Amino acid sequence: MAVCIAVIAKENYPLYIRSTPTENELKFHYMVHTSLDVVDEKISAMGKALVDQRELYLGLLYPTEDYKVYGYVTNSKVKFVMVVDSSNTALRDNEIRSMFRKLHNSYTDVMCNPFYNPGDRIQAFDNMVTSMMIQVC
Amino acid sequence: MDASEEPLPPVIYTMENKPIVTCAGDQNLFTSVYPTLSQQLPREPMEWRRSYGRAPKMIHLESNFVQFKEELLPKEGNKALLTFPFLHIYWTECCDTEVYKATVKDDLTKWQNVLKAHSSVDWLIVIVENDAKKKNKTNILPRTSIVDKIRNDFCNKQSDRCVVLSDPLKDSSRTQESWNAFLTKLRTLLLMSFTKNLGKFEDDMRTLREKRTEPGWSFCEYFMVQEELAFVFEMLQQFEDALVQYDELDALFSQYVVNFGAGDGANWLTFFCQPVKSWNGLILRKPIDMEKRESIQRREATLLDLRSYLFSRQCTLLLFLQRPWEVAQRALELLHNCVQELKLLEVSVPPGALDCWVFLSCLEVLQRIEGCCDRAQIDSNIAHTVGLWSYATEKLKSLGYLCGLVSEKGPNSEDLNRTVDLLAGLGAERPETANTAQSPYKKLKEALSSVEAFEKHYLDLSHATIEMYTSIGRIRSAKFVGKDLAEFYMRKKAPQKAEIYLQGALKNYLAEGWALPITHTRKQLAECQKHLGQIENYLQTSSLLASDHHLTEEERKHFCQEILDFASQPSDSPGHKIVLPMHSFAQLRDLHFDPSNAVVHVGGVLCVEITMYSQMPVPVHVEQIVVNVHFSIEKNSYRKTAEWLTKHKTSNGIINFPPETAPFPVSQNSLPALELYEMFERSPSDNSLNTTGIICRNVHMLLRRQESSSSLEMPSGVALEEGAHVLRCSHVTLEPGANQITFRTQVSIDCPWSIYSTVIALTFSVPFRTTHSLLSSGTRKYVQVCVQNLSELDFQLSDSYLVDTGDSTDLQLVPLNTQSQQPIYSKQSVFFVWELKWTEEPPPSLHCRFSVGFSPASEEQLSISLKPYTYEFKVENFFTLYNVKAEIFPPSGMEYCRTGSLCSLEVLITRLSDLLEVDKDEALTESDEHFSTKLMYEVVDNSSNWAVCGKSCGVISMPVAARATHRVHMEVMPLFAGYLPLPDVRLFKYLPHHSAHSSQLDADSWIENDSLSVDKHGDDQPDSSSLKSRGSVHSACSSEHKGLPMPRLQALPAGQVFNSSSGTQVLVIPSQDDHVLEVSVT
């Protein structure tokens, strides 16, 4: 499934980032950070159209030899970035979309928690993210 | 757009291909009309209706006319489409019956038989009619007769297969008409033939594809078949359709590879799993790479061969379709995909071989695109191509590392062997690029040839990539490539060049708060600064790293040791000091002053204890810790100090500093928290609630525009003054974590500019605010003390006492508080209650002292013993003199009160005691040993539930004797239904106007009561007869009343009146005719 899942604040600092423990965490941090370039580009390029269609899924941000990086942006400009192993051919666009929707729902739950301070790093995400990283299609 | 740059190889698969049409019969005749025919045929487009629901297309037809030979007709089973003759034409200009019978008919029959033998039904007979020829002949039959004969003989029910072309070489309207009709016929027949033959071909192809699960099926064979179709579409200039054929082949192959990975292997796929032996990259300069095509045909192609060939065809077609950017995008996908597929199929690949292949392919694609686009187009589409540039850079880098071209010493023999192997796999350069100076092949070969050449090529590529990323605003990507470059420079021992890239990247990560990249980049930067000998910068970076929790303990210790080692070195240049910011070493957690107000007399001793949180991983011995005291002497310093103290200071002299948060971006960090408050807005007239809501007090702070530029600025520090007031503490070891350091020093304040002593304003701030109140229940009395914690700290309260400091012996204060220990949290209140008890006549006033012990709730600060907190107060006139009881009765004969109907209000005022000391005032009158006093009552309903009808207030003469009772009747009207609270009954002392003790009076409120102005009539019970639905007696007062001798009202102290009916409610039911509205129309 996903090898790295990140939630990034409107100001582009990470609210939450987690990767599979077997891999080098730093690599994914760099990858997710770099992918923000394309997120920004996509948001500004199709900004208006995106709002009109209420399309939050940004699609494939950029492929690398080993990974595919996908993006999603909420209405409040919080970004979700998901890194998937390229060899995982079972993951099609639809699966990625539904994973992002799940992530969005969990994020909404976090925001609804009265003890959560918007903008703080998210703590209570691990269970859901773990399920998305392990679950096999 | 034409791809062919050099003479095309002599193969039939070229763009010069046209559908083949054979010509039989009179060759000379055909030769004479051929120029016109070949020119006219493509001029008009024709609509091609497609099978399988595909959209019709307009198509310009061209044909390759060849002489008819039997060999041209495809034999049974031959799948070739390109060489397939789509139409056969027989040309004749015969107009003579004899000639027809003698030769033409036989010839035609032979021709027809050959066609029939090959079951070809696409034919046409053209009879060219020539006026000039006719004139010379004598036995001329009418034209029609020959045509009719031919039609009769050959065109069985297909009369349209025989057409007449009249005077084709003349320039007349008749000729033109004849040509048009002929061309239309020709086009129609050609398209019919296409539809039929392509349809048949596609059907065969599908059948073949359906057999793909059968054991003997070969992908290569199928590939050739479907490609044939693609060729035909390409020949017909239907590039979109041709591309679809290749995309289908691409998808089919990909699916097989995926299935193979899933364990479902096809036999033929093993051919593609041969070890990779050649990695010469994509070739995109010819429309068709025949070499690769033949290897596929011979089933000898490797996976890279097949993929390369397939992509070269897709590229050609995409360029025909003018979609060069799609080529770039697809190329990147293809390269990634190939790498993945080789992994999936577990194909053995020599190290570096794929890097070569990818590098060559990236450059080939880029050069191909550059070859067909102008500069402006390329510059505005960098976003599409930059991925390939970046990928090529990455691959060249890894080749450089692999071949020992990045190390300081250069490649060793092993590296050289590997380089030779890699170059061998490239083979010889392809002829089509042999004359190109900058071909990918030459670049790679050169880059791998020497350390210097590699550096040149790698730097060129990196700089180009960074520049492109920067130009399209992909700053993060640019910084990331820059970091690779920095790594390269570090390997090349050129830290001065690496520094700028590392700093740039670090700045970017800091601005956006990415902790791990910050740590990693800082580590690289530390190494760089160390090599550069930038001691100060290096130590500063080291201090940040030593306190960085993302590093391992070992790494942190290393950086901490670096600083300590430097500190222990004897300084070679005295006077040179390296100053590092403190925040990375340790954080100030709190300051503790003793005495707690931090104010001492001149010559006094002030003890300052600071808590430092050491961020270092190991205990650090500190020679000296110095606190610089910064005096700010300015105007209004007294007020500023007071402000500061209320803001920061807590009791017992502890000032807390919140710990710094992790490296958040400053913009986010500086946002204040929401300050939300409840808001109630009451009507000014009767205090009823109008609106309520929540308001945000600091909305101007929250919605302020964030200055992006200032986000990295640090607050400017206070400049250190040499010899300023300093507190020192020597030889301290700071353990990791919290440390307490005590400074004990004598402070004397000298005023260098004045010989007089300075007056210092002291501000004390108390931790608590205390209020008291007297509570009554009939004649029983209670004292309530409320302690409110004003500070930021939590406290523990204990041993609360309330004592009477007067000497009234018969008074007893009985505590009703259960707990002896009670926590009081910051900004919260705690209540204490005592009951007052007495046996004899109570004293008119009571002096009380409340005391409570307190200590901070947090345990570590328990050592401080504090005096109990005390609060003194006085309670006066607390004895209940009057009991007021109000009751409302429904109108007689009714069970309940109804809205709108008058009810009676009965007020009972009872005196509870005999004459007391407190009664002795000017209202008291004495006659025959009987005392009486004047009271005023008033019925007010602030909640607008009742309308008081008739009089609402009056003055009564009250005998001063226990159990004396006064009963008052009034009329009130309920305005609403429901359980309504009773209106308030207020009682005042009515002082006659000759009173001289005006100081006792509440001068503001009660004298200006217009209901009292009628008092001059001397009536004891002045009525206010107006209906006061709103219940206010403070109506407008005219200024002339002031100055006149007026009776005065004095509110009875709260303790003296007890309202026994407060809180009771009366049921009011709605009246039936509530909804009837009378309307009179005149």
What single DSSP character describes residue B126?
E
Dig out the tokens for B455 from the structure: 């550096």
B1017 pLDDT above the threshold of 50: no
CA distance B296 to B268: 12
CB contact under 8 A, B473 and A37: yes
CB contact under 8 A, A34 and B340: no
- Give the pLDDT score at B754: 46
Q: Identify all chain B residues contacting A11, using CB atoms and an 8 Å cutoff.
A: 512-513, 665, 667-668
- Say which residue the tokens 């409340």 belong to: B850
Do B907 and B937 contact (CB within 8 A), yes or no? yes
Do B685 and B942 contact (CB within 8 A), yes or no? no
For residue B913, name the pLDDT band (cuts at 50, 70, 90): confident
CB contact under 8 A, B668 and A26: no
What single DSSP character describes residue B100?
I
Which whole number is the average pLDDT over B518-538? Answer: 92
> What residues are paired with A67 via a beta bridge?
A85
* From B572-586, B699-713, B1012-1026, the region with the lowest mean pLDDT: B1012-1026
* Sequence-ordered list of residues with C-beta below 8 angstroms from that of B887, at least 6 positions apart, any chain: B905, B906, B908, B982, B1061
- Of B435 and A69, which is predicted with more confidence? A69
Q: Identify all chain B residues contacting A37, using CB atoms and an 8 Å cutoff.
A: 469, 473-477
Angle at B689 between CA B686 and CA B693, to 5 degrees: 155
Give the residue from A27, A29, A66 with the most B CB atoms within 10 Å of its CB, the best one to mutate.
A29
Structure confidence by residue, pLDDT tens digits, B554-563: 999 999 999 8
Do B499 and B408 contact (CB within 8 A), yes or no? no
CB contact under 8 A, A65 and B340: yes
- Give the pLDDT score at B357: 94
Do B207 and B191 contact (CB within 8 A), yes or no? no
CB contact under 8 A, B668 and A119: yes
- Give the pLDDT score at B751: 46
B56 pLDDT above the threshold of 60: yes
Determine the 3-state secondary structure of B501 from DSSP.
helix
CA distance B720 to B724: 8
Q: Identify all chain B residues contacting A14, using CB atoms and an 8 Å cutoff.
A: 513-515
B997 pLDDT above the threshold of 70: no
B1029 pLDDT above the threshold of 50: no
CA distance B547 to B607: 30
ipTM of the complex: 0.94
> Considering only alpha carbons, which residue of chain A is nearest residue B390?
A64
Short-list B880, B995, B1017, B991, CA closest to B934: B991
CA distance B563 to B750: 39
CA distance B204 to B668: 66
Please count the other Cβ atoms lying within 10 Å of the Cβ belonging to residue B378: 16
- Give the pLDDT score at B600: 61
* From B260-264, B329-333, B533-537, the region with the lowest mean pLDDT: B260-264
Question: Highest-confidence range of B110-124, B251-265, B468-482, B922-936, by mean pLDDT?
Answer: B468-482
Q: Identify all chain A residues contacting B466, using CB atoms and an 8 Å cutoff.
A: none
- Give the pLDDT score at B1059: 86
* From B758-762, B879-883, B1006-1010, the region with the lowest mean pLDDT: B1006-1010
Q: State if pTM tops 0.80.
A: no
N-terminal to C-terminal alpha carbon distance within chain B: 94
Q: What is the 3 state secondary structure string of B380-420?
A: CCHHHHHHHHHHHHHHHHHHHHHCCCCCCCCCCHHHHHHHH
Determine the 3-state secondary structure of B954 from DSSP.
strand
- Mean pLDDT value across chain B: 78
- CA dihedral for B475, B481, B484, B485, sign (positive or negative): negative
What percentage of chain A exceeds 90 in pLDDT?
Answer: 38
Structure confidence by residue, pLDDT tens digits, B70-96: 888 887 766 677 788 889 999 888 877
Give the residue from A7, A13, A16 with the most B CB atoms within 10 Å of its CB, the best one to mutate.
A13
Dig out the tokens for B940 from the structure: 């007010």
Instruction: Quickly list DSSP for A27-88.
Output: HHHHHHHHHHHHHHHHHHHSHHHHHHHT--EEEEEEE-SSEEEEEEE-TT--EEEEEEETT-
Chain B residues in contact with chain A using a Cβ-Cβ cutoff of 8 Å = 258, 261, 332-333, 335-336, 339-340, 343-344, 383, 387, 469, 472-477, 480, 509, 512-517, 520, 664-665, 667-668, 671
- Of B1001 and B602, which is predicted with more confidence? B602
Q: Identify all chain A residues contacting B474, using CB atoms and an 8 Å cutoff.
A: 37-38, 41
Strand-pair category, B1057-1059 with B882-889: parallel
The partner residue sitting opposite A33, judged by closest CB among B476, B667, B668, is: B476
**Single-letter amino acid, residue B1080:** S
Could you tell me how far CA B28 lies from the centroid of its own chain? 79
CA distance B1073 to B1076: 5
CA distance A121 to chain B (A): 10
